[in-house]
Amino acid sequence: MSDHDFVKSMAIQNRQRMVATVMNWFDKEIAPQLPANVRSQLSSKFRSKVMQAVGAYHDVTLDMLKASIDDGSIINESALSLLQQIHVDQQRLLDKVG
């Protein structure tokens, strides 16, 4: 597996965990408190907004990765370290929400 494939796979897995964490929190903490007629409509809007925001973040991440490959840059340990720090910081935020 190339460095590019590794980082792309890491970003995709991180995106999936982020979405699952936020959605699970909503389903457990917020949705049960809503009236049934509001729950599905709000749930759908919330999910759409989360996917839109996470998708925008993920697209930027993949664009940066692609740009670094296309211009001949080498993905180095420093870049991987920064991505890992983003992941750690994101987990902290998600832990606070959940």
Q: What is the CA radius of gyration of the chain?
A: 17
Question: For residue 33, is pLDDT > 90?
Answer: yes
Burial class (CB in 10 A: 0-12, 13-18, 19+), 74: exposed
Question: For residue 17, is pLDDT > 60?
Answer: yes
H helices present in 26-76, as ranges:
36-70
Q: Could you read off the pLDDT of 39-91 as tens digits, one per residue?
A: 888 888 998 999 998 888 888 888 877 776 656 555 566 777 778 888 888 88
